[in-house]
Structure formats: structure tokens, C-alpha cells
Structure 1
Amino acid sequence: MTEAVLLTETNAGVRTLTLNRPEKLNAANDALLLALTEAIAEADGDASVRVIVLTGSGRGFCAGQDLGDVSGRNMTFTEHLNHTYNPLIRAIRSCGKPVISAVNGVAAGAGASLALAGDVRLWARSAALIEIFSNIALVPDSGSTWFLPRLVGYHRAFELMALAEKVRSDEALRLGLCEHVFPDETFHQEVQAYAERLAARPANALKLTKQALNAAMTTTLDVALDREAELQQVAGDHWEHEEGVTAFKEKRAPDFRREYE
């Protein structure tokens, strides 16, 4: 039997989705991209899942598009992106659960876009990101032109894309491309521990926070203020808010998981 291109594991409310083409540094083919998009949607609809982790098997996170998979195909670049990568990136950003990009190795091309798309980016010490598109005279896609300049500014983003410069973990942390860097030897344990911390937080409030942040990235302050006021009412009407206030008054840790267990 052909080995699965995507591995799925759930532990303590954390759904880990592992890209599983290690012999190709997890370069993406259609089967992997479509399976990942479907898996994110499935996890989003599963009340027992509170956090989603995306990572890679072997030495790589994702080396971008498997060029051999599209060679000779009767499909335009636009059609391919709209069929595979664009639905995947939209699924990550619209997902109501926090998504962690656990970058265990090289993230190149569209793999770099995938690494940037998470709500939290955790890197292994040996990880690296490279916007490699210009090496084959293509334009960065799969969200890179949206994510990268918002993190590092237009000019640094252009330089990284134009020169296809590799960004290693120490510089990635300095530039804000990741939130934490962990040793390779303990990377997966550190990611799981971080994800479980996030899973203990109020799921509804985090979903609404993600909605507010996504909307605020492309709107005015006045619109963002109105949106915050609307979402604050939704959050305040939820049982999590009552639990948080009650726990504060009783001087105990809130239990934001009780309704889901």
C-alpha cells in the first residue's frame, strides 16, 4: 500500500497534521494539499480538537511544490493555485481553531507561505525559510506576498523574494517570522507542550480573537473598533466569560475545557 501523504494524531486536544513525503522534504503534490485542506476543515468541525499543529516528517517542513507532479500537466498556474494552495491558505486563516506552524526543517517556496500562515510559528533551531520563487523566475504565491511584508516590511520582503535569501532560525526570530525557536532534539515535545497550553485557553474567545485580528489587518481603525464591540458582546454572552469571572472571584484557575469534555 502507498504510504499516507498526511499523518494525523490527536493528543490532549491537539490535532497534529504531519506532511509525510520525507524523501522529498515534504514537497507538495495535489494529494497532500487536498488532504491537508480537508484535514483542517475536519479538525475545525471537531469539538474535541482545540489546537491544530502543522509540521513535517523527516528533515523538512515543506520544500514547496513538487515540480515533477505538475510537469506536463494541462493546467495553468492560476488554475493550479486556485485548485490547491489558495483553498489551503484560506482554510488555515478562516479556521476557528488556533493553527501552529511547527517548522521542523526547510520551508521553501509555497512551503514558506505555509510556515507563515499559522497563528503561531514555532521553529526548530535547524529550520530555515526561503522564498525561492525567483530562482525559477516565478512570483511568490500561496499568500507570501500578503504575509511577509506585514511581518518584515515591504523592502525587506522584496529583498528576501528577489534574492531568494535563506533565513535561518536566529534571524527569523529577530525579524518576527517566528515566535519561538526550540532545540532540534526536543522540538516536538516543546511544540506539544506549547499547544497544550494554548488548548487550555478559552476556545470561543480565541476563535473570536482570530476573527477580529483577520478583519483588522485590512480595515480602518473605526471599522475595527466597531467589530471589536460586536465580538465582545458575543464573547461576553458565552459561558467561558462567566467561568473566567467566577474563577477570578474564587481565586482559582479557570476551567475553559469543561463544556467540551
Structure 2
Amino acid sequence: MTAPLRTETEAGVRSIVLTRAEEYNTITPQLRDALRGAIDDADADPDVRVILLRAEGPAFCAGYGLDWSTEMQAAEAASDRVWDSVADQRMLSTFVDVYLKLWYAAKPTIAAVQGWCIAGGTDMVLCADIVVAAENAVFGYPPARVWGTPTTAMWVYRLGFERAKRYLLTGDEIPARTAADIGLILECVPDDELLGHATALARRMARLPGNQLEMLKLLCNQTAENMGLASSRTLGTFFDGVARHTQEGRDFVRRAGEVGIRQAVRERDDPFGDYGSRTSPTAPRRS
């Protein structure tokens, strides 16, 4: 099995690199566990001042791996027990808590994004302090249409009320240039400049004393905490479980079992004409 990530350290910057390129770096329990350890190790290393999250391949992260997640829900539906919301919240929190390590790490975190960064991929990446994207990047939360809500609830804090509602109430895709213009991410750069640009920014930050970086990050993040971020993400995580167990959510899982995940997702997104609905049948699976 291919390792889900690798790490590198240079000039005070710890790079955490997602390595499941052929699977579009979709989220699995194995990736969750590896990412937890990698962020903790970087945050504890006195030689590291900045953490840079990036990915190999054509996509940064195309969401959760729908093969294992829909199979898990289908098995749950076949059991004699009704849906246990508390157990669901506990299970999903094992993922959410890892994404939030990017937010709560004492050290600054930067994400460099190319290609798809959608659904669960946005739950992860929007927890980074700064997001830089290539022009070919695409953001969005298509499960808003059925089967999910943003668990880490970072959309309003980055976009404000109306823009967050505009994109969550449609699930529409957001090209990188638009994402930068509306403030979802910091900036958009040419594809071939992404790695160099993000690395240079991380190294520039790493020139500051570590204690200065940690104080300034905490000062900025505390504003969102005071606005109620903790309660927002608790509700987002709970509602994600609810959305997967509405009649429409259960119908989506049933349909996926009948025709396959790829076709079920196409049927959800084709009326909107975005994401993989405009691409070839080899487009990534995404939650």
C-alpha cells in the first residue's frame, strides 16, 4: 500500500506532502492517522517554524474516498440498530480533529493547492492559516447538494455570511482565481509557480523568531474563536451526520450501491454542469 504522505524539512519549513496521487489524495482513515502524526511531529520539532501542506499529482484532495465511506453507511443501514448520532459524531470527529490541527498548531500552516480541492478536501485545507492555489485549482462543496455539510465550518469565517451562503446553498464550484478574489484563499498563481511561491512564502515566515510567529497566529485566530468557531464546527459535524441519514442521503447511498459511486455523483452534479460533469469518465471520485 502506498504511504499516504511523506515529510521534508529545509530552512525551518516542514513540508507534509500527500502522496496518493493516483487516488487524487482522497481522504481515508490511513491518511487521517498519518496526517495527525505528521502535524504533531512538526509542531513539536524546535527546528521547524512553519508547516507547508502540499500534494503530489493532479489533485490536492478530491474529498473523502467514497468507496469506503458509502460502504460503511450501507453496512450500517443493513444492521438491526437505528442510526446512532452520538457514535457518528464521535467517528467523524476523528477526522475533523485532525484537520483542526492545522488551525490549532502553534506554528503557522500554509497549504499549496492544485487541481481538485473539494468537499472533505475543503474541510481540511480551510483550516490552514494561509491557502495559496495554482490557477488550475478548483474549490467547492458539492455534497451541499446532498449527503453532507462542511464539518469544520470555516466558510463563513473566511467569506462572510452572504458569500458563504451563495456557494454553500448551491454547492457550485469555485475556480482558484475567483476563490482568491472573494477571499476564500489568499492568492492564485500560475500553475508552474505554485511550489516555488508557497515555499518562498513559508521560508520568509520562518525568518521570524518562532515565539513571534506563535503569538501572532494565536492573536489572529482568537478572533474567530471569540466569534464562536467551536460551536459552529460542532454543529457542522453533527449536521454532516444528519445529512447522510436524511431520506435523500440514504437514497444517494442506495443509488451508489446500484450504479456505482461515480455514476451517483454524476447524477447529483450533472444538473449543475460543474465539477466532473464537464470532464471525462476518468474524473476523480469526490464526496
TM-score category of the 2 structures, normalised to the smaller one: 0.7 to 0.9
Q: Which runs of 5+ in 2 are unaligned?
A: 77-86, 228-287
Query: For residue 132 of structure 1, what is the aligned residue in structure 2?
Result: 142
**Residue correspondences, number:** 215
Query: For residue 119 of structure 2, what is the aligned residue in structure 1?
Result: 109
Query: For residue 63 of structure 1, what is the aligned residue in structure 2?
Result: 62
**Matching of residues 58-207 of structure 1 within 5 Å:** 58-73=57-72, 77-83=88-94, 85-141=95-151, 143=152, 145=153, 147-207=154-214
CA distance in 1, matches of 2:68, 2:158: 31
Counterpart secondary structure, 1:218: helix
CA distance in 1, matches of 2:99, 2:25: 17
**Matching of residues 193-232 of structure 1 within 5 Å:** 193-219=200-226
Residue pair 1:133, 1:161 contacting (<8 A) in 2 also: no
CA distance in 2, matches of 1:159, 1:87: 27
Deviates more, 1:7-16 or 1:26-35: 7-16
Query: For residue 21 of structure 2, what is the aligned residue in structure 1?
Result: 22
Q: TM-score, normalised by structure 2?
A: 0.71
- Of structures 1 and 2, the one scoring higher in RCO (CA 8 A, sep 6+) is 2
CA distance in 2, matches of 1:70, 1:166: 22
Residue pair 1:109, 1:130 contacting (<8 A) in 2 also: yes
Residue pair 1:131, 1:140 contacting (<8 A) in 2 also: yes
Residue pair 1:15, 1:49 contacting (<8 A) in 2 also: yes
Residue pair 1:101, 1:117 contacting (<8 A) in 2 also: no
**Which AA in structure 2 matches 1:149?**
V
Instruction: Write out per-residue CA displacement over residues 162-185 of structure 1, whole angstroms, 9 at most, x where no aligned residue.
Output: 211111111111111122222111
Deviates more, 1:210-219 or 1:8-17: 210-219
Q: TM-score, normalised by structure 1?
A: 0.77
Residue pair 1:15, 1:53 contacting (<8 A) in 2 also: yes
Residue pair 1:151, 1:176 contacting (<8 A) in 2 also: yes
Question: RMSD value over aligned CA atoms?
Answer: 1.7
Against the structure 1 CA distance between its residues 93 and 53, is the aligned structure 2 distance closer, same or farther, given a 3 Å change threshold? Answer: same
Residue pair 2:107, 2:213 contacting (<8 A) in 1 also: yes
CA shift for structure 1 position 204: 0.5
**Which AA in structure 2 matches 1:113?**
D
CA distance in 2, matches of 1:121, 1:138: 23
